[in-house]
Amino acid sequence: MKRIPDIICASIFCLSLFVPYSFATTDEKDEITIVIPARAMVKFINDILPIKIIKDKKFSGVIWIKSVDKLKLEIDKVSFSVNIYGEDIKYTGRIGNLSTSLSFGNIDTSLDCDASIRYDKEKSILYIRPKIVERRNRNKVLLRLLAELIDKEYPVEIQKLKPIITRFGDKSVTIDMDISNVYAVHNRLFIGIRPSVKSKNE
């Protein structure tokens, strides 16, 4: 089963390699910056939907993310609208101090969400924490439970990019590329890459 962080991670790297809107620049820190517009991310994400939301032991049934739109990228923040669909949804757990068992049947609703993002360059982990900010469904109990299901910080391990190995004359050249930063500004996702070059005679 695909998880939400896996989809986000795959989207970032596939977009950086294949989407024509992406481009690279360099700055005074000798970094390469890949820039991915929000509209490109929305198209790619919707192309690989639907996906199942991570299972929770309190829920039974299947919950799917059907589509994502209204994606907006701000400083360390992502806003979006998500349409979810569920079949035979049941909840068994506690609400406040009461143990309860609830059956919601099939659900089909849209949620507006904000998500904070932060990148730990020492651990190479991108942390994503979504939160429901607007609720279009009138079932307040269901929405409260969905908020508890979604509102947690998801760690996404960013794998090291494979080095580029080439030859120049009698030298073998290896270019390592480390992800130095991931951040959002003005409806664009920025991925900072710091290359290092090693060469040896053969």
Q: Is 71 exposed, middle or buried (0-12, 13-18, 19+ CB in 10 A)?
A: buried
Position 184 in a domain: no
Is the peptide bond preceding residue 50 cis, with omega within 30 degrees of 0?
Answer: yes
Residue 188 has pLDDT above 70, yes or no: yes
In a domain, 180, yes or no: no
Q: Is residue 44 part of a domain?
A: yes
Residue 65 inside a domain? The answer is yes
- Residue 115: predicted pLDDT: 92
- At residue 23, the pLDDT reads 46
Q: Give 142-167 pLDDT, tens digit per residue.
A: 888 888 778 888 888 877 777 888 88
Is the pLDDT at 61 greater than 60, yes or no?
yes
Question: Tell me, what's the pLDDT at 67?
Answer: 93
Q: Is the pLDDT of residue 121 over 60?
A: yes
The domain of 55 spans 4-28+38-160
167-178, pLDDT tens digit by residue? 877 888 888 888
**Which residue type is seen at 143?**
L
Name the more confident of 23 and 122: 122
Task: Please name the amino acid found at residue 136.
Answer: R
Query: How many structural domains are present in the chain?
Result: 1
Residue 133 counted as domain residue:
yes
In a domain, 94, yes or no: yes
pTM, entire model: 0.69
Least confident of 30-44, 52-66, 104-118, 177-191: 52-66
In angstroms, rounded to a whole number, what is the distance separating the alpha carbons of residues 121 and 160? 11
Q: Give me the helices (H) in 77-185, please.
A: 140-150
128 inside domain: yes
* 15-22, long-range: CB < 8 A, 24+ apart: 15/40, 15/41, 15/44, 16/191, 19/44
Average pLDDT over residues 90-106: 86
Q: Is residue 169 part of a domain?
A: no
Asked which of 18-27, 39-48, 164-173 is least confident by mean pLDDT, the reply is 18-27
Q: For residue 20, is pLDDT > 80?
A: no
